[in-house]
Chains A and B, each alone.
Chain A
Amino acid sequence: MKDSAAVSNKKRKTYQQLSYWGKVGRDIATNPVLYLMFLPVVLYYILFCYKPMYGALISFMDYVPGIPFWENEWIGFDNFVRFFNDRNFFRLFKNTLVISFSSIIFGFPAPIILALLLNELKSRTYSRVVQTISYMPHFISIVVICGLIRDFTMNTGVITQFLGIFGFPQVTMLGEPSYFVPLYVISGIWQEIGYGSIIYLAALTNVDQELYEAARIDGANKWKQTIHITFPSITPTIMTMLIMRLGNIMSIGYEKIMLLYNSQIYETSDVISTYVYRVGLLDMDFGYSTAIGLFNSVINLLILLLANKLSYKLTDTGLW
């Protein structure tokens, strides 16, 4: 050990001179414990994200479960062509984008606003209480949440009855195609606003308090302070979250929609993932559903790259 140390001491390159792997090696040698802690994460990604990727190959196959993987027949892009020619393709595509964009436009700023409001609260106790209550819906099972939504928005439901006071028609909201997206988005905000605000609250605690002091001396009121100090300070966090959210634009989970929709509102509520569930998983058409999944992922990736580029242009922050 000592010998080699002496030798390497002589020849030791500076950090900058090392090759990439050399740098990694040096880093591991200096911070072994950190890397050990990182190891499970790497393994997780290799085992659960990279290894299963070969499964995407079945989107080019006439896949039959049960027979050995490589014995399946290759059919090229047939599954994709089938999806693009599907009678529901445009409706599914449109609904997916509409629901996703609406969720981002209205749902994304909500936790930020809540975090900013909470940050301004003087009473710690009150702030804690508000936070706890607003987290709660996140931890309730989606099945229960959707049951509540369905009951409350029925023609006899409490929300419909309440809105009736203001002249709102007494109809079952989930039977009206035009109400589905607002219901989906608003209930989504209610579910996630508290939980989503945690990360922004964390970012807010890191804002330098001296900045506020300086602003106050310059005569800035609360609103000006928020606009010119608080907001810019958490922009990197906001941008990161936004880009990540945009990267999921095509992947709306099917559970909530499945639990809420019915045949009356397919025209605004049927999305790609619910269709995949019906045709792919229930009809055992794995090749087809994988093809649709792959199509989604490709679009997601493109949007992610685009959003990241734009973000650098506009705010000088981004994912990488």
Chain B
Amino acid sequence: MSAKRLSALLLTALMAASAAVSCGEDSPSEPVSNAVSSSDEAASGASSAETAASGEITYPVEGNPTVTYWCRLTSNASASVASMNDLPFTAELEERTGIDVEFIHPAQGTDKESFNLLVASGDLPDIVYYSWFNGYPGGPEAAFKNRVIEPINEHMAEWAPAYTAYLAENPEVAKMVQTDEGNYPGFPFIRGEEILWISWGPFVRADWLEQIGMEKPTTIDGWYEMLTAFKNECGATAPLTTWDKDFGIFNSGFLVGAWGMATDMYLNDDGEVVYGPAQPGFKDFLAEMQKWYAEGLIDPNFYANDRSAAETNLMNGFSGAIAASPGQGLGVFEKSLKEIDPSAGYTPLQWPTLNEGERPQFGQKDTYFNNFGLAAVTASSENKEAAYALLDYAYTEEGHMLYNFGTEGVSYTMEDGEPLYTEMITNPGEGMSMSQMLAQYTMPQDDFPFVQDGRYFMQYMQLDVQKEAIQLWQETDAEKHWLPPITPTEEESKEYGTIKTNLDAWRNEWCVGAVTGKNSIDEYETVFLPELESIGLERALEIQNAALERYNNR
């Protein structure tokens, strides 16, 4: 405890000192930090001479530099700490790298506004972790041009050898994390294995299925039959529920995928970007959903739901089906339900198709890098080399273990060459969940710049039903339709942003109305489509397809 306090004190002192430095005064009290951060070529050349020679950075780095780091505080971590500075993970990271990290977090749930205001303020920390590809208008290239961040190309071989090596071994990833112009904006969050790409899928009450004597349905008709039986025989008032408001019940192509489309932009079979709601077949989908809604198979409040509403429905037996995540969804719900009724439980279903025996074309599947975060070093940073060293550590072997499993002997032990989380993590006491414990010592649950390890995931998926779900939900061709991290040019991005915002708002407004029966399906061609066109659908697709072409040419 006292060591932690001391380090916090030290950190504060260092912060104050480095603040003085950044004010433009060469503070003599902070010579070390200067040596590392100095833009003076001679100085930086000298300090990195040995690292360049060996091709890797020697940790801990010399001089105990301090780096400021803006990122989101995840909900798992926020359950126990107010800032990542207070995590045991951070203490370990600081000790190993010899770099003091000062985290700055936006208020919970305001990432986007806070990021925008941070950039507008012009007063940037050393590292900003954000979705630079789609979160900054015009993507990373615009951010380079506006002197917000800098490409890391120039120094990456020297200052970030581990990440450079990783990219060399994984050209597929390298293509995703560079811009159309071939610049690398920073250090990404990478889902290292296929098993980690699954984070969404449908599951239903297993005991209800048994009660109504049905096999697991695979088709839309089967689903219809099942939900009807849930309603009539199991007393469900909202058989199919959701925790996403508006049109989110159909996220990731749930149900709508059976008709061969998603509700958003995706790649069609010809490799072109298209907008799902404007595709042929979408009307049939809406008509079917209108029927379901009218018959009381869909939660009457689906468009206004949130997590707590869904949980209420599921736990009280109002609902028996939902599409959600395997951890916070299936895992949490399964455990809570078992507490209420030990004989009840959930079972995962495959993504439904239109015809029996078809392979689902849509569903949720990420890839290595799915527009998630990227830690960029800001152009104004005076600690660039230290910032690179800190970020690069995640891609070293040691760092990989720290980020995924924590500290050996504390949060994990090695058994037969496999890292296993300790009892403290997997089975924490009252009031703590495994997620919250993981968030204290490790990072694998949060998008954060490192390579996520599949061995974490199967341990986190503690219940058999979760493991089964992951296997079942993988069986789709969703990756064929996945839209890579493409970026409109800076000029196009504002235009695209406004069009896309309006398209989605109109889709939510009209399509939800169509499902609830407020809007007539017959007006799909006469009202819905013309409005999409007048908002600028064609232009939006033009921009996206041009961006896709640039991506393919990388």
Contacts and interface: CB of A to CB of B under 8 A. Distances in A.
B512 A282 contact: no
A98 to B, nearest CB: 18
B83 interface: no
B212 interface: no
Contacts of A286: 116, 120
Given A65-B120, A66-B122, A66-B146, A281 B245 contact: no
Interface stretch (A30-38, A122-130, A259-267, A298-306): A259-267
Say which size band chain B's interface belongs to: 35 or more
B534 interface: yes
B508 interface: yes
Interface in B525-554: 531, 534-535
Nearest to B301: A172
B147 interface: yes
Interface stretch (B254-262, B438-446, B497-505): B497-505
Contacts of A279: 497-498, 501
A5 interface: no
Nearest to B380: A66
A64 interface: yes
Contacts of A155: 300-301
A204 interface: no
Interface centre among A65, A263, A264 (most CB of B within 10 A): A263
Given A87-B502, A282-B112, A284-B116, A263 B494 contact: no
Contacts of B304: 150, 154, 172, 174-175, 262, 264
B129 to A, nearest CB: 17
B168 interface: no
Contacts of B502: 87-88
A7 interface: no
Given A262-B246, A263-B246, A263-B509, A175 B116 contact: no
A284 B535 CA distance: 19
Contacts of A175: 300-301, 303-304, 516
A218 interface: no
A281 B508 contact: no
A282 B518 contact: no
B307 to A, nearest CB: 12
Contacts, number: 90
Nearest to A177: B518
Nearest to A88: B502
A285 B247 contact: no
B143 interface: yes
A264 B303 CA distance: 7
A105 interface: no
A155 B505 CA distance: 25
A66 B509 contact: no
A64 B490 CA distance: 10
Given A65-B146, A175-B516, A262-B304, A283 B245 contact: no
Nearest to B508: A263
B290 to A, nearest CB: 14
A264 B116 contact: no
Nearest to A286: B120
Interface centre among B112, B136, B498 (most CB of A within 10 A): B498
B119 interface: yes
Contacts of B245: 262-263
A263 B247 contact: yes
Given A175-B301, A263-B247, A281 B501 contact: no
A266 B505 contact: yes
Interface in B394-430: none
B277 interface: no
Interface string A76-107: 00000000000110000000000000000000
Main secondary structure of the interface of B (DSSP, over half): helix
B331 interface: no
Interface string A258-280: 00001110110000000000110
Given A155-B301, A262-B246, A283 B498 contact: yes
A67 interface: yes
B509 A266 contact: yes
B229 interface: no
Contacts of B535: 87
B137 interface: yes
A164 B497 CA distance: 44
A154 B301 CA distance: 8
A283 B505 contact: no
A284 B116 CA distance: 6
A171 B516 CA distance: 12
Interface in A186-239: none
Given A174-B304, A263-B508, A279-B501, A66 B246 contact: no
Interface centre among B303, B304, B513, B531 (most CB of A within 10 A): B304
Contacts of B148: 65-66
B136 A283 contact: no
Contact of A283 (B147, B494, B516, B534): B494
Nearest to A176: B518
A282 B535 CA distance: 19
B199 to A, nearest CB: 23
Contacts of A282: 112-113, 116, 501
B512 A263 contact: yes
Contacts of B531: 87
Given A281-B113, A285-B497, A65 B508 contact: no
Contacts of A154: 301, 304, 309
Contact of A278 (B501, B518, B534): B501
A154 B309 CA distance: 10
A151 to B, nearest CB: 8
B303 A262 contact: yes
Contacts of A64: 142, 146
A278 to B, nearest CB: 6
Contacts of A262: 245-246, 303-304, 512
A300 B512 CA distance: 35
A102 B122 CA distance: 41
A65 B119 contact: yes
A177 to B, nearest CB: 9
A172 B509 CA distance: 16
Nearest to A157: B301
A285 B501 CA distance: 12
Nearest to A280: B116
A67 B119 CA distance: 10
Contact of B518 (A174, A264, A281, A284): A264
Contacts of B122: 65-66
Contacts of A285: 137, 494, 497-498
Contacts of B509: 263-264, 266-267
Contacts of B142: 64
Interface string B116-140: 1001101000000000000011000
Contacts of A266: 505, 508-509
B505 A66 contact: no
B505 A87 contact: no
Nearest to B515: A264
Contact of A67 (B112, B146, B518): B146
Contacts of A150: 304
Interface string B144-157: 00111000000000
Interface of A: 64-67, 87-88, 150, 154-155, 171-172, 174-175, 262-264, 266-267, 278-279, 281-286
15 contacts: A65-B116, A65-B120, A150-B304, A175-B301, A262-B245, A262-B246, A262-B303, A264-B513, A266-B505, A281-B112, A281-B113, A282-B113, A284-B119, A284-B136, A285-B494
A-B pairs with the 10 shortest C-beta distances? A263-B508, A66-B146, A65-B120, A283-B497, A263-B246, A66-B148, A262-B304, A65-B119, A263-B509, A284-B116
Given A155-B301, A263-B247, 6 more contacts: A67-B147, A87-B531, A87-B534, A264-B512, A283-B498, A285-B497
